[in-house]
Amino acid sequence: MKTRTPRPAGKAATRVTVSETNIRKAAARLLAVKLVSTEIAYVQRSLGNSATQDQLDERVLAVRKMPWTEIALPD
């Protein structure tokens, strides 16, 4: 697992749009497999419209370890 270099003190975390494209890019960078649409929808629902890159990365890594019943919406 890669470790992130700490941000310099006083440097604010930049917020990014939680879009399908940004989620797919984060998954490509962090995971060996692609996320399916249900996982992408979960990340978007859980983070809202914007988040820091660190939050997005954490959620992308976490969604792969979660049980499917927590990710998928009931019919």
Per-residue pLDDT reduced to its tens digit, 4-59: 666 666 566 789 999 999 999 999 999 999 999 999 999 999 999 999 999 999 99
The least confident of 53-57, 62-66, 71-75 is 71-75
Q: Which residues of 37-56 are buried (b: 16+ CB within 10 A; e: fewer)?
A: eebbbbbbeebeeebeeebb
Other beta carbons less than 10 A from residue 22's beta carbon = 18
Beta strands, E only, the chain: 15-17, 50-52
Q: What pTM was estimated for this model as a whole?
A: 0.80
For the chain, the domains span 15-70
Query: Tokens at residue 42, please?
Result: 């979960």
Domain 15-70, what architecture? Answer: Orthogonal Bundle (1.10)
| AA letter at 39 | E
How far is Cα 33 from Cα 52, in angstroms, rounded to an integer?
A: 22
